[in-house]
Amino acid sequence: MVFAMAVIGAITRLTESVLSITEWKPIMGTIPPLTEAAWQHEFNLYQQTSEFRIQHYWMELGDFKNIYFWEWFHRLWGRAIGLVYALPLLYFFIRKQIPKGYGIKFIGLLILGGLQGVIGWWMVTSGFVDRADVSHYRLAIHLGMAILLFGLLYWLAMNLKYEKRVSDLPVFCVRRHGWTSLALLSITILWGAFVAGSNAGVIYNTWPLMGGQITPPETFNISSIIEQQAWLQFIHRWIAIVAGGLILSFAYRVKAWPLALMVIAQIGLGIATLLTGVHIHVAATHQAGAIILTALLLSQLHRFYYVHR
């Protein structure tokens, strides 16, 4: 469900639906508008945003309903994740079936999940100022928390499934290689959020050149790496290649061929996202690929600590 949430979130961002709901109603917001008057009220609220005035001024009520759906569905899915996680957790606590040492971990994940909802709304509020988008910094934090939640859930699930090794294997160098790969992959994903949040992917839709050269023609200064679209895209391009090379070399060392294939596929999806001008289906698949790649890399790292049979 967290994996699906990240993909739904990508579609919500790509369809420019994030700011369509201007209020945060954790309970009542579950129900969408059911009458034309209710729909018109929501549309009137949206018309007061800078995004509507600057970018979506052409929209009619029918157009608004299309973008409203994705933001509403994104929030609904988040609420569903909370229920699917919290209710069984309560049941297992009552039945005293939580494995020793896992109670605090499961509660911690519940708290992080709630915090993610708060971060999501904090991100949305950044778009209710004199701008037509949410802050790409807050978008990166929101995506980063989603990847963290996915990774922690996945790691704990593997802990419960496999038997812990009696002693560490003499593979410190290989482990360090893997964890460094994961760190660089995480930075690449977060930088991808910078690119998405600043709409940097819709310029220079060629590969490998940008405006006929390797580096963008825009003047570089230190603030460019986190603010200017061209340099944001440039850094994401090449940090992805470096991360891909590092993960490929790790995959070769541990003979993880599915991981190696996924690296190649993900780089291909990134290039395809650029060449198609950030086509929604390709870009959403690219985000899904990032999470699948994270899972495959975590699986290999987990083998250093638990016996996989």
Same domain, 153 and 171: no
Are the C-beta atoms of 236 and 178 separated by less than 8 Å? no
- Check residue 306 and give left, alpha or beta (phi > 0: left; psi -120 to 50: alpha): beta
pTM > 0.85: yes
State yes or no: cis peptide before 33, omega within 30 of 0: no
Helix (H, G, I), strand (E, B) or coil at 250: helix
User: Of 139, 141, 202, whose CA–CA distance to 13 is shortest?
Assistant: 139
Are the C-beta atoms of 14 and 278 separated by less than 8 Å? yes
Same domain, 132 and 175: no
Residue 166 confidence (pLDDT): 66
Same domain, 16 and 143: yes
Residue 26 confidence (pLDDT): 86
Same domain, 205 and 285: yes
Cα separation values, 222 from 212, 215, 226, 227, 295, Å? 23, 15, 8, 9, 34
Residues of the domain holding 301: 167-309
Are the C-beta atoms of 236 and 174 separated by less than 8 Å? no
Same domain, 241 and 114: no
Q: Which residue has the tokens 């994996």?
A: 3
Among residues 161, 182, 205, the one where a domain terminates is 161
Tell me the H-state helices in 47-135: 50-54, 61-94, 103-125
Among residues 130, 161, 192, the one where a domain terminates is 161
Task: Give the helix/strand (H/E) hosting 293.
Answer: helix 280-302
Same domain, 239 and 138: no
Residue 170 confidence (pLDDT): 58
Count of domains forming the chain: 2
Residue 29 confidence (pLDDT): 87
CA distance 197 to 135: 7
Are the C-beta atoms of 126 and 142 separated by less than 8 Å? no
Q: What is the maximal distance between C-alpha atoms in the chain?
A: 68
Tell me the H-state helices in 129-171: 136-161
Are the C-beta atoms of 147 and 288 separated by less than 8 Å? no
Same domain, 10 and 157: yes
Same domain, 56 and 188: no
Cα separation values, 281 from 79, 268, 284, 291, Å? 25, 14, 5, 16
Among residues 161, 183, 212, the one where a domain terminates is 161
User: Of 230, 204, 218, 300, whose CA–CA distance to 259 is shortest?
Assistant: 300
Same domain, 201 and 81: no
Number of Cβ within a 10 Å radius of residue 154: 18
pLDDT tens string for the chain (309 positions)? 999 999 999 999 999 999 999 999 988 889 999 999 999 999 999 999 999 999 999 999 999 999 999 999 999 999 999 999 999 999 999 999 999 999 999 999 999 999 999 999 999 999 998 888 899 999 999 999 999 999 999 999 999 999 887 655 556 789 999 999 999 999 999 999 999 999 999 999 999 999 999 999 999 988 888 999 999 999 999 999 999 999 999 999 999 999 999 999 999 999 999 999 999 999 999 999 999 999 999 999 999 999 887
Same domain, 156 and 174: no
Residue 1 corresponds to which tokens in the numbers above? 């469900």
Same domain, 92 and 230: no
Same domain, 245 and 137: no
What DSSP state is assigned to residue 220? P
Taking the chain, what is the end-to-end CA distance rounded to the nearest angstrom?
A: 26
Any long-range contacts for 270-276 (C-beta under 8 Å, 24+ apart)?
270/237, 270/240, 271/207, 273/201, 274/201, 274/204, 274/205, 274/206, 274/207, 274/233, 275/205, 275/206, 275/207, 276/205
